[in-house]
């Protein structure tokens, strides 16, 4: 895979950070927080992953706000999340924002993450022990798929060819 950047916000239990670390290890990717995006040259990266835990059915605000300010025209991106229920529909808001920023969304990953918030507190929480070793293996496997997909057929040309002088 070409150079990969993984942007992760993991504010509650470190659940999504475990997933991001597994992905970064597989892809030899650089990891960063949403607030660092402004100071990075995104041109350098062939593929960028965006992920966080889920609060109230969507990714954390810090990540959504940062993505809303980016121009990702022509960039391959993927999304990931962890949540108490592991519902992949929670990734929809972020996917919509990325598409609006001009990106091609080439991958979508989620897994469960332990959650002791709200009504689940009295039961001692849900998804205890997640992400577990199977979840992290799935995250690594997902990155291998991303690698294969972007190597076989880049969905977006790396550089647009200028064939005529610009008038």
Ligand X SMILES: Cc1cc2nc3c(=O)[nH]c(=O)nc-3n(C[C@H](O)[C@H](O)[C@H](O)COP(=O)(O)O)c2cc1C
Find the shortest distance in angstroms from Cβ 91 to ligand X. 12
* SS3 per-residue string spanning 130-164: CCCHHHHHHHHHHHHHHHHHHHHCCCCCCCCCCCC
20 binds ligand X (CB under 6 A): no
92 binds ligand X (CB under 6 A): no
Q: Which position among 31, 32, 40, 55 is part of the footprint of ligand X (CB under 6 A)?
A: 55
Q: Which position among 3, 61, 100, 117 is part of the footprint of ligand X (CB under 6 A)?
A: 117
Cβ–Cβ < 8 Å for 82, 113: yes
Q: Which position among 85, 93, 104, 149 is part of the footprint of ligand X (CB under 6 A)?
A: 85
115 binds ligand X (CB under 6 A): yes
101 binds ligand X (CB under 6 A): no
Q: CA 157, CA 160: separation in Å to the nearest integer?
A: 6
């Amino acid at each position: 895979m070409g150079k990969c950047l993984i942007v992760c916000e993991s504010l509650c239990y470190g659940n999504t950070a475990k997933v991001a670390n597994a992905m970064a290890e597989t892809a030899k990717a650089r990891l960063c927080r949403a607030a660092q995006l402004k100071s990075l040259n995104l041109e350098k990266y062939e593929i960028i992953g965006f992920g966080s835990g889920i609060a109230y059915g969507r990714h954390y605000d810090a990540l959504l706000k940062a993505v809303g300010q980016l121009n990702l025209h022509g960039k391959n991106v993927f999304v990931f999340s962890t949540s108490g229920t592991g519902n992949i529909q929670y990734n929809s808001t972020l996917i919509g924002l990325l598409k609006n920023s001009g990106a091609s969304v080439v991958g979508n990953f989620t897994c469960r993450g332990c959650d002791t918030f709200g009504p689940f507190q009295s039961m001692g929480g849900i998804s205890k022990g997640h992400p577990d070793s199977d979840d992290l293996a799935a995250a690594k496997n997902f990155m291998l798929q991303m690698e294969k997909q972007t190597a076989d057929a880049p969905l977006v040309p790396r550089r647009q060819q200028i064939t005529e002088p610009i008038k």
